[in-house]
A and B are shown apart, each in its own frame.
Chain A
Amino acid sequence: MNAVTRSIAYIVLAPILGGLLAGLDRIITARMQGRYGPPVLQPFYDVLKLFEKENLMVNRFHGYYLVCYLAFLIASGALFFFGEDLLMVIFVFILADIFLVVAAYSTNSPYSFIGATRELLQMLAAEPMLLISAVSLYMVTGSFEVAGIAGSGKILILYLPGVFLGLVYVLTIKLRKSPFDLSTSHHAHQELVKGLTTEFAGPSLALVEIAHWYETVLLLGIVYLFFSFNPAVGVAAALLTYFAEILIDNTNARFKWQLTLKSAWLATVALGGVNLIVMYFIFVR
């Protein structure tokens, strides 16, 4: 499969895959709680329903911000599957998130305000680790290009176990899973109403939902990179990681933001940083 078809496949298939993952997530979550759970296709029903609803616009802008959020998220995923520079992918990814925060701020509701502030904190907690992953992947493979990393044939997880664990740690933040679902969460009935997404109704909310599906697939794509020496192992590892995230989600209560920030940075330094230094001595010296 060449680069162009891969990115087109991402744009078309990622929402389907992400939606299915979300549906499985809901069923597995329900089973873990001893419930029966919704049908697998429920996330799709929800989004289709949201598109048929009235779009309550709080102001003229927030719809556009959310479209930008989705567009940049798709762009960063497409760059990733095109085999482009991993740093570029991460920066576009961050930019997309910023649009979500701006959209939440623009609504002027206290709930989304706190949600947006917390999202910024979460980004602060998670981004250093993402960058360290990119840098350490570069150290081992000598390339920032996703294509180069995936094509290196090295068993990257053996070189970068610490970085991988650190990445899984912040993945919990990025996937909005408990204990780090501070800004908004998938679970019903939370404090802060719905945080970030409180003021988005109907189609706007659907955009956020779809963007989250794209996001999930992109992040699992980054997980895949660590196991890219063998595609089957890579896919299995990505799915296993997602399952681990669901498990963590269901067995942990939410952290306060202070603890989130501290623990995420601690994980970044202890797991990512140390691993990076070791790699430095092996590859650069």
Chain B
Amino acid sequence: MFHYDGSSCNGCDIEVLACLTPMYDIERFGVINTGNPKHSDILLITGFVNTQNAEVVKSLYRQMPDPKVVIAVGICAATGNFFRECYNALGGVNTVIPVDVYVPGCAARPEAIIDGVIRAAGMLEEKRNMLKDRK
């Protein structure tokens, strides 16, 4: 899993970090937060996309090997939330890359984030099979 913080209020990021703590410990599902897109299957994005980070988000997405899934955590990442009227805002993550799982909430609860990650892992399986069929 790879966590990228777009433009968020940091509320969701802190909840994402909470998932790594002993209380929630997302590694019990074998999920590790790496800092490297090339090692990850899941791209987890918090916060909305603006004119500056749109290229970064796209580049990160391109660097990940197939099959891959994208999770948008929080309302900002889903729609842009109350930032969407901002002069620099493009909107949710789906304005630049395809999103597979939306985790609602402002901020999203750690339980919801973990649930989203597990769903994403399930979709990963589906995508892998789809890739195989295509071959």
- Residue positions of A touching B, CB distance < 8 A: 26, 30, 33-39, 42, 45-46, 49, 52-56, 188-190, 193-194, 197-202, 205
Report how far A33 CA is from B27 CA in the complex, Å.
12
Q: Return the chain B residue nearest A41 by Cβ.
A: B30
Q: A35-B22, A36-B25 are in contact. Are A56 and B30 (CB under 8 A)?
A: no
Report how far A35 CA is from B38 CA in the complex, Å.
26
- CB distance B29 to A194 under 8 Å? no
- Residue positions of B touching A, CB distance < 8 A: 20, 22, 25, 27-30, 32-36, 38-39, 41, 63, 65-67, 128
Q: Can you add 8 more A-B contacts, CB < 8 Å, to A39-B30, A46-B30?
A: A30-B27, A34-B22, A36-B28, A38-B29, A56-B63, A189-B34, A198-B38, A200-B38
Contacts of A200 in B (CB 8 A): 38
| Closest Cβ–Cβ distance, residue B10 to chain A (whole Å) | 17
Contacts of A36 in B (CB 8 A): 25, 27-28
Q: Return the chain B residue nearest A53 by Cβ.
A: B65
- CB distance B27 to A35 under 8 Å? yes
- CB distance A194 to B25 under 8 Å? no
Report how far A42 CA is from B63 CA in the complex, Å.
24
Report how far A25 CA is from B36 CA in the complex, Å.
22
Contacts of A193 in B (CB 8 A): 35-36
- CB distance A188 to B30 under 8 Å? no
Q: Which 7 A-B pairs have the closest CB atoms?
A: A34-B22, A54-B65, A201-B38, A35-B25, A54-B66, A188-B32, A36-B28
Contacts of A30 in B (CB 8 A): 25, 27-28
| Closest Cβ–Cβ distance, residue B38 to chain A (whole Å) | 4
| Closest Cβ–Cβ distance, residue A10 to chain B (whole Å) | 28
Contacts of B29 in A (CB 8 A): 38
- CB distance B38 to A188 under 8 Å? no
22 contacts between A and B (CB under 8 A): A26-B27, A30-B25, A34-B22, A35-B22, A36-B27, A37-B27, A38-B30, A46-B30, A49-B41, A52-B67, A53-B41, A53-B65, A54-B66, A54-B67, A55-B65, A188-B35, A190-B35, A193-B36, A194-B34, A194-B39, A201-B38, A201-B39
